[in-house]
Amino acid sequence: MIVAKEDSNASLLLCAEAKCFRYATDWEKAINDDIKKLRAYRDQDSRIAKRVVFMLFDDYYWCNDVNTANEIQQRLNGIRNENGITVLFHTSEAKLENY
């Protein structure tokens, strides 16, 4: 987890969860658990963080399992459309061209 704050008692500027699913046996549970935490941080009542971000740093599925990669991308696209959660990931298309 990544947290950024100012020198004050105000809400955190940023709270981010960074993931690597290379070794995850249940990527869907991992995403759901992290998004649940980020929703709580984003919740207006708690005011823990002004901005929440989910980041995926892994190209394993995009290079080795296209079906799972597509499922992950669809799930993250659904979260991306949810108000208040920023989702960052890439599909490693540049790396695939080199294989």
Decide: 99 and 63 in contact? Cβ < 8 Å: yes
The pTM of the full predicted model, rounded to 2 decimals, is 0.73
The whole-number pLDDT of residue 63 equals: 78
pLDDT in tens, the chain (99 residues): 666 666 667 767 777 888 887 766 788 898 899 899 888 888 766 677 777 888 887 777 777 888 888 888 888 888 887 777 888 877 666 555 554
Is the sign of the CA dihedral 69, 86, 19, 31 positive or negative? negative
The whole-number pLDDT of residue 99 equals: 45
